[in-house]
Amino acid sequence: MNCRKILAYLLILGIMLLLTGCWNSREVNDLAIVMAMGVDKDPKKGEYIVSFQVVNPGIIATGKGGGGGDMSVTFYKGTGKTLFEAIRKTSKKVPRQLFFAHISLIAIGESLAKEGIHELFDFFDRSLETRLTTLVLVARKDKAENIVKAMIPLESIPANGIVGKLETSSNNWSENIRLEIGDVIRTLVSPGKELLISGVSLVGDPEEGKKKSNVDQTEVIASVEIDQMALFKEGKLKRWLREDESKGTLWILDKLKGTIVNIDCGKKLEQIGIEILRSNTNVEVKSDKGKPTFHLIIREEANISEVKCPIDLSKPEEFTKLEKKLREKTKQMIMAAVSVAQDEKSDIFGFGEELKRSDPKAWEKMEGEWDEIFANSKVEVKVDAFIRRPGMRVKPYLSELKR
């Protein structure tokens, strides 16, 4: 055997020693896969109450979870002074090891959100299993565990149904925002931006909502809905934004994907439905003698989706009138959002971050008193609105009706 072969064998043996194999592998049959987690707090004991939506892989595999058969998920709950303690204590009730690598939703109870969530996300940030892309929602006027318990039609795994509702709502209605664990952590540590989290609520009977019979009928007794947005200040929930305030906020954040705006037709209020197709927002800041002014420039394109009054859209001047009204309505909603944020002294728009990027020296002087400065800052809004198409009909049939 020559030296070359000996060296090759030694190299192979050396490489084999470096192979770790499957020393830390875990079989699927030994895992309880968590799809959603709720976090509440016991007001008397001060302990966390964690709730888990655990998937039943056997039912999902057979396709029985959507209707009929056994439950596709199981609910578990535990308590502890820390989240990790609560999770480990819950393991006494679960026949398998809780596994968080596939978790898609974290729900936070409203009472806990009001108390503060600064300390809540260290476990998720530190854990090897949890993903920072997991969606975060706040249970509006409810406990998080009621959201985690609820069964949802059309989806065998309820957590996936809630995520799907948020995606649909964000794309078509734009009253909510998708926020992940990583986004929450970055905002909490940012001195120039406050937190904004979408809400979720349970409409109907919570006890009926957790039963399989809730999705085995054409009309559900309890339903989970994506509901408004929670405005935070220093990690604590301060108030819920109304519909117009939420849309105005998304316009400012340049996260409005598509929505419907109703405008007036003569003296008749909100008779014309306008579908916003695209929107783009630029924020410019100018600082003069320690007083910043924020200029918001919005460009939006829209189609006419519905007309409930006789109007001839073949005339260019009618389009011009509608575009003017759309600009005014858009500006109105944006200023409503600005007013709420300034009243709460909560910079949910990240104006402070924009000032820091554009004028670091000015930000250094204002950072210590930013809450007050933001509350008194001037905000100017310019909207360019363009209505592209009237739909399939230029002149509505309403103009032909005899009244």
Q: Tell me, yes or no, whether 390 lies in a domain.
A: yes
What is the bridge-based pairing of β-strands 268-288 and 48-55?
A: unpaired
Q: Are 193 and 49 contained in the same domain?
A: yes
Closest CA to 106 of 164, 147, 71, 161: 147
* pLDDT in the model for residue 67: 47
Q: Which of 220, 125, 262, 224 is nearest to 181 (CA)?
A: 125
Residue 127 sits at φ, ψ, to 5 deg, of: -70, 145
Last residue of a domain, one of 192, 221, 241: 241
Nearest to 159 by CA among 87, 211, 102, 222: 102
Q: Are residues 136 and 253 in the same domain?
A: no
- Co-location of 167 and 291 in the same domain: no
Residue 9 within a domain: no
pLDDT at 68 (0 to 100): 46
Is residue 32 in some structural domain? yes
Domain closes at, from 241, 274, 301? 241
User: Domain tally for the chain?
Assistant: 2
401 and 272 in a common domain: yes
Domain boundary among 216, 241, 266: 241
**155 located within any domain:** yes
Residue 155 and residue 122 share a domain: yes
Residue 111 pLDDT:
97
Q: Are residues 162 and 257 in the same domain?
A: no
Tokens of 39: 């976090």
Q: What is the CA radius of gyration of the chain?
A: 27
Residue 194: left if φ>0, alpha if ψ -120 to 50, beta else—which one? beta
Task: Decide if 18 is inside a domain.
Answer: no
C-alpha span between 145 and 142 (Å, rounded): 9
Per-residue pLDDT tens digits for 184-237: 999 999 999 999 999 999 988 777 777 777 777 777 788 899 999 999 999 999
Q: What is the pTM of this model?
A: 0.88
Using CB atoms within 10 Å of the CB of residue 361, give its burial: 0 to 12 exposed, 13 to 18 middle, 19+ buried: exposed
Residues 178 and 277 in one domain: no
Q: Are residues 34 and 152 in the same domain?
A: yes
Q: 286 and 261 in one domain?
A: yes
CATH of the domain at 314: 3.30.300.210
User: In which domain, by residue range, is 296 found?
Assistant: 242-403
Considering the domain boundaries, does residue 7 fall inside one?
Answer: no
Same domain, 109 and 163: yes
Are 224 and 265 in the same domain?
A: no
| Residue for token pair 């006027």 | 141
The pLDDT of residue 275: 96
Question: Does residue 15 belong to any structural domain of this protein?
Answer: no
Residue 40 included in any domain: yes
Based on the domain organization, do 233 and 97 belong to the same domain?
yes
Per-residue model confidence as pLDDT tens for the chain (403 residues): 577 777 777 777 777 666 665 555 666 677 889 999 999 999 999 999 999 999 987 666 556 554 444 678 999 999 999 999 999 999 899 998 899 999 999 999 999 999 999 999 999 999 989 999 999 999 999 999 999 999 888 788 999 999 999 999 888 889 999 999 999 999 999 999 999 999 999 988 777 777 777 777 777 788 899 999 999 999 999 999 999 999 999 999 999 999 999 999 988 899 999 999 999 999 999 988 778 999 999 999 999 999 998 888 888 899 899 999 999 999 999 999 999 999 999 999 999 999 999 999 999 999 999 999 999 999 999 999 999 999 887 777 777 765 5
